[in-house]
A and B are shown apart, each in its own frame.
Chain A
């Protein structure tokens, strides 16, 4: 059973469902119920990092070129990044089923 989806035998759970490894939520795919995903238009992006600062997850990571890229493994599609972007570089696009 894939642990990254939280699926495991009751026998393998830590006692009391404790989390023994700090920060292990990063290993879990927590963005699988998103209805919209953010799409970045690099032409418009000024690399200000507002999306990175305001993402509640935080799902945004800075890449080598200095762009802030949303990691869809964690993004829940709240749209804060698109709303805050001063250049309108982020568009929320409907996820197809």
Chain B
């Protein structure tokens, strides 16, 4: 068991390494000279020379990659080309903001999908189930930026309850944090909840029809106890798996949502740095986002392995 986990972990590390190669070389493989591409065609030769020196473009690419990798492990990602500051301190604040937004989204997501999943499984076939089913399909199919725009149009413009842009300087304390981040978090929560509710509902319906639940009922246990203590723990496995995958999806979705709400997080940093062709920042933010993604996939695999083990099912 521990050996399986170790193998998975090593595979993830290898993936991260491979991803770093992809990230580094994606920029390298672009046609033309890197420095000229960054500065534009009418750059002066002196400016190009300075940039080449800054990016150490005279070193062979593989040596540069190793140099960058060593630095990255230590936390030194180089100097940002546009901000002239070490990339790390630039990226740190943004990373914290992104994690905050993700945390708010997950805090909304967990109880919501749990409650809706249980509710629809219990009241299967009734009006509530159908209404929620419609929202589930909408959540799964409608793109996140479209959901975000609808939310903004409804709850920020038509009804001025929330700010349409999530500007971090408006956040002073917890209430204002929730107020500003509510719509972006909701936009992220919608698709995640849709998948989770669907998964939760199906597995719970399955479990509720099983033998030991019937046994618990026959023993005379109150229905809520049967539900919470007997059915739920066994049904929650697939939903946990989906949750870990949702968290991994969050890394991509958050890029779009941060752009939509102008939230100064890691995702928007990536988009902006690509427009500005700030290579060190592009590499650093891609690497960080990918690392979290890989970590979440690893957690999902380990969690499902442990859960399957515990239930005595085959991996």
Do A and B pair up? The answer is no
A interface residues with partner B (beta carbon < 8 Å): none
